[in-house]
A and B are shown apart, each in its own frame.
Chain A
Amino acid sequence: MSLSNEKKKEMFWIMLLSRRLDERAWVLHRQGKIAFHISGIGQEAAQVGAASAITKGKDWLVPYYRDLAMMIAMGMTPAEFLMSLFGKAAEPTSGARQMPSHFSLKRANIVSHSAPVATQSPHAAGIALGIKMDKSDQVVLTTIGEGATSQGEWYEAVNFAAVHTLPVVFLVENNQYAISVPQKLQMAVSGAAEKACGLGLEGIKVDGTQVFKVHQTVLDAVVKARQGEGPTVIEAEMYRLTPHSSDDDDRSYRTREEVERHKKKDPIILAKNHLLSEGLLSEEEYQTLEEKAKSQVDDAVKAAQQAPFPKGETAASPVYAQEVNHG
């Protein structure tokens, strides 16, 4: 099933909007207006390609903290993300209890995750177990960085999913670095896809800078999972174009030349050139999209700044699904 021209343009729009939103977060941080940002710049192709391969409102997503573009693709609004950056009460992931980019969106079946890496992977397997028990045709997509595949939790989750032939797709966003530590110090194999072979699964590598390639690869795995043929590990290779977070300085562990080299494979530029060459987008239309993105981000920043903070005492709850007190 090939993507329609409209769908391709929409995917590009989500990538562009997410990029401009992410860049604005860096600006807001440098202006001293927000305390923290963790970026997904350079990973938009993999995220939007994968998100567009599952069915919104039906399938499940168990994301990790770099998935801003994936969240936007799944329906989180720029204002909602910006409210989380400012710690505003109405942000939908946690009511501003969590740091920004610890995503959750109940209305889209997107499960809350934490900061200790790989803890989300067994949850994805567990959701898929429930789906299989109910003989439903839902699918779970879960994401992780390549560094976190060093955690036992990732192996255990993939193993359990493989043993029980569960409908889950494990997408590894290999951006080459876990903060400062490169892949060669994480694993002796060629990548996370190779690890899947040891667990009885096919591991697939895909160029994570090519949105439409990622889409097709993930879609194939989603179809397979939906048909009851079990899990797939997909490793999308890309490059983290920014420091790890607003508190990191990547000059201490990689050269500027290396970063500049990878900017030539910026997924936004690649997708734009693809659409231009296919005649699906003109330079004029592109400029219109840029203006639209800027205007949407501007509006979202204003809305988020004006939104109220939570009252301090609202931090007292909700601890339990039915409130309990010590007697």
Chain B
Amino acid sequence: MAEITLVEAVRQAMDEELGRDKKVFVIGEDVGVRGGVFRATVGLFEKYGDERVIDSPLAELTIVGVGIGAALYGKRPICEIQFADFIYPAFNQIISEAAKMFYRSNGDWSVPMVIRAPYGGGIGGGLYHSQSVEAFFTHVPGLKVVIPSNPYDAKGLLKSAVRDPNPVLFFEPKKGYRLIKGEVPDDEDYTVPIGPAKITRAGQDMSVFAYGMMHHYALQAAETVAKEGIDVEIVDLRTLYPVDRETILKSVRKTSKALIVHEDNLTGGYGAEVAATIAEWGFMDLDAPIRRLAGPDVPAVPFSHPMQGWFMVDADKIANAIRDLASF
């Protein structure tokens, strides 16, 4: 097992899937000669050529709309949106077309495609290079929404996404691209299934639900509070849609307290669905109100460092939220 970065795991997954299946191709802005602005596609253009690693026009609607067409034809496109913040021009194609195609054709036409996009703040990206966009898509039947938190899952889930016969949105925590390292099997055939959440730290006193970069910080916070005698269970949600309600409820049944963490805005965020799941089916297991720790309800992450710090959830803020809930 080699230790690699999260972005290298993403690159490896695409490399291996391009090598495994000739139907797979990559399309996006700067994914070709440049190898991606985050270097997620580095080397792929040289290895697979300009017909399978396509530098698209600077138009997100084109990337997704053309990808849908190619998927209808029988290809397996991996569409890269350079920053999740730029996905909105393609929103109509994702919601009206990719998500509904199979249903509206009564199963005649499917859209096997992956839309990859780096998301999240804390990198000095300001309003338009920092957004978390998952909640727009976790409301939409027909889509799958995946957010990995570590290299092992990033590679295994992305390979599953490429092989999935449905449209999968794959959001990658860009702050963790090089920060988060981990071991990944050398075996090219390992995958991680889309669907199940994962308990990444067993504990007794409360459940913390997180994903992406926030999962990384939640693990750090859990180590901090462990020294104070608070034993936290961490659940990495990994697949946000479909929702793994069983794992969420199982964990709350054990710990009786729930803290949900995401960096997306609080109101109407994904945490609301997790909270509703627990309130509806796990109410009798609770010893305290469900808590959410999330980005504030301002439009997006500001640029200037102190303001960015004010917006972003980090390990310290999570540790404080854990202490607060533990004392209830």
Contacts from A to B (Cβ < 8 Å): 60, 62, 93-95, 97-98, 102, 104, 106, 111-112, 114, 116, 119, 121-131, 133, 152-153, 156-157, 159-160, 163, 317-322, 324-327
Contacts and interface: CB of A to CB of B under 8 A. Distances in A.
A144 B174 CA distance: 39
Contacts of B243: 326-327
Contacts of B107: 318, 321
A327 B65 contact: no
Interface stretch (B98-106, B145-153, B310-318): B98-106
Contact of B97 (A106, A119, A325, A327): A119
B247 A130 contact: no
Given A112-B101, A327-B195, A159 B62 contact: yes
A72 B166 CA distance: 30
Interface stretch (B68-76, B207-215, B220-228, B255-263): B68-76
Interface in B99-142: 100-110, 112, 141-142
A159 B57 CA distance: 9
B96 interface: yes
User: Which 4 A-B pairs have CB atoms at the shortest separation, nearest pair first?
Assistant: A126-B69, A122-B65, A130-B73, A95-B106
Interface of B: 25, 51-52, 56-57, 59, 61-62, 64-75, 77, 89, 92-93, 96-97, 100-110, 112, 141-142, 144, 164-166, 195-197, 242-247
A112 B108 contact: yes
B92 A320 contact: no
A321 B73 CA distance: 15
B68 A324 contact: no
Contact of A163 (B57, B69, B92): B57
Nearest to B71: A126
Given A95-B106, A116-B92, A126 B166 contact: no
B69 A125 contact: yes
18 contacts: A93-B105, A95-B106, A104-B104, A104-B108, A119-B97, A126-B70, A127-B73, A133-B51, A153-B65, A156-B62, A157-B65, A157-B66, A318-B107, A320-B165, A322-B166, A327-B243, A327-B245, A327-B246
Given A160-B57, A163-B57, A126 B66 contact: yes
Contacts of B65: 119, 121-123, 125-126, 153, 156-157
Contacts of B245: 326-327
Given A122-B61, A156-B59, A322-B166, A131 B73 contact: yes
Given A112-B104, A327-B246, A160 B66 contact: yes
Given A159-B62, A160-B66, A321 B110 contact: yes
Nearest to B243: A326
Contacts of B242: 324-327
A127 B75 CA distance: 9
A97 B64 CA distance: 24
Given A122-B62, A126-B73, A163-B57, 13 more contacts: A102-B104, A106-B108, A112-B108, A116-B96, A122-B69, A127-B70, A129-B73, A159-B62, A160-B56, A324-B144, A324-B195, A327-B195, A327-B246
Contacts of B96: 114, 116, 119
Nearest to B101: A112
B103 A97 contact: yes
B102 A320 contact: yes
Nearest to A114: B96
Nearest to A131: B73
Interface centre among B59, B105, B165, B166 (most CB of A within 10 A): B105
Contacts of B108: 104, 106, 112
B100 A114 contact: yes
A107 to B, nearest CB: 9
Contacts of A102: 104
B72 A127 contact: yes
Contact of B62 (A95, A97, A160): A160
A94 B105 contact: yes
Contact of B68 (A93, A123, A128, A159): A123
A93 B62 CA distance: 25
Nearest to A136: B73
Contacts of A93: 105
Given A125-B66, A126-B71, A321-B102, A156 B61 contact: yes
Contact of B61 (A130, A153, A163, A319): A153
A112 B68 CA distance: 12
A129 B102 contact: no
A129 B57 CA distance: 14
B92 A130 contact: no
A129 B70 CA distance: 6
Contacts of B247: 327
